[in-house]
Amino acid sequence: MRRVKLFTIDALPYRQPIPVYGYRFGSRKKTLAVMGAIRGDEVQQMYTAARLVRKFSELEKEGAFAPDCGVLVVPCAGQFSMNVSKRFWPLDNTDINRMFPGYGAGETTQRLADRIFTALQGYKWGVHLASFYLPGDFVPHVRVMDTGYQSNEEGLDFGLPYLMIRKPHPYDTTTLNFNWQVWDTCTFSVFSRTTDFIDEDSAELAAESILRFLAKRGMLRSKVPESVLRFLTEKGMLGREVPEGSRTKIVKEEELINIHNKNGGILIRYHHPADFVRAGNLLAEIIDPYTTEVREKICAPTDGTLFFAHHAQLIAGHSIVYRLIPKSRPGQCENK
């Protein structure tokens, strides 16, 4: 393992410059890059990348990487935002992940995006440990932007429950995922269950999925000795041999049903991501924050699996409370 300073976050008011470090493993070839936290609330994403650093370090010590494999892991590039507990850049509330590929002579977040992108360019594969624009919990999944440059089949190698294919909107063209693909890196976004707090089980699931991708893509030695697997298991690096994972279901994002509320208030959830629900099942209630009277009951519009659930307990009206993978035809639902 080699820790390298990739760049420095400077021009900060009343603060010393903050170095951004990456951890390199294996050869100097640019095979796989993993980007952790960019936004200031991505604690889970930073933690997952840190777990990967530990796992890769042990794999490297035991000679498990293929000779021509070079891996870079960047646990965090949003330290300033994280230090002051702000999701976006604190000085102007802009989102670094809407600034790619960046501009070296532009505003602060454009310059930061440029430095991040420069450090990540040239890799064959890229994995972004991403967070969603809505606050909530997910079923762990891998997401691919349908740019025409992507390889959906390779996304199956992560072995996560779902492979989500998203048609890019205009605002997606300034994300890391989109631009990485345009600059010839086969890119995937891996979503674990949470964002602003650590969920160890889903962090381990995400880390294992990346190990599985390495193994399937030939970045680990074709035959890792039993002694190495035993050592990694005893050290807690692998809960078991790199597992086969789930049978991945491919879902197009436009097939999801968005379930909205009409009234604001306190959200009481009765179902969670990965729950299978039947049409008419009570999913949640919105209660009056002053009287606790039920303002609204939110029910499942059809049979299906909950993919996303809003988790902030104070919710505004007309928000997305759940996203549902329907068992049958897709559509939209707004509760009465």
The parent domain of residue 214 ranges over 2-251
Ramachandran angles phi, psi of 154, nearest 5°: -65, -25
pLDDT digits over 126-177, tens only? 999 999 888 889 999 999 998 877 778 899 999 999 999 999 999 899 999 9
Whole-number Å distance between alpha carbons of 204 and 208: 6
- Report whether 89 contacts 109 (CB < 8 A): yes
Angle between helices 43-61 and 200-216 (to 10 degrees): 50
Same domain, yes or no: 83 and 217: yes
CATH of the domain at 268: 2.40.50.100
- Domain count for the chain: 2
Same domain, yes or no: 305 and 238: no
- Report whether 269 contacts 284 (CB < 8 A): yes
Same domain, yes or no: 66 and 167: yes
Count the neighbouring beta carbons within 10 Å of the beta carbon of residue 13. Answer: 6
Ramachandran angles phi, psi of 104, nearest 5°: -65, -20
Where among 235, 251, 267 does a domain terminate?
A: 251
The amino acid at residue 300 is A
Same domain, yes or no: 279 and 133: no
pLDDT digits over 195-207, tens only? 999 999 999 999 9
What pTM does this model have?
0.89
Where among 190, 218, 251 does a domain terminate?
A: 251
Task: Give the CA angle between residues 152, 142, 259 to the nearest 5°.
Answer: 110
The whole-number average pLDDT for the span 180-193 is: 95
pLDDT value at residue 228:
53
Same domain, yes or no: 69 and 187: yes
Where among 193, 221, 251 does a domain terminate?
A: 251
Same domain, yes or no: 233 and 261: no
Q: Model confidence at 10, in pLDDT bands (50, 70, 90)?
A: confident
Same domain, yes or no: 88 and 204: yes
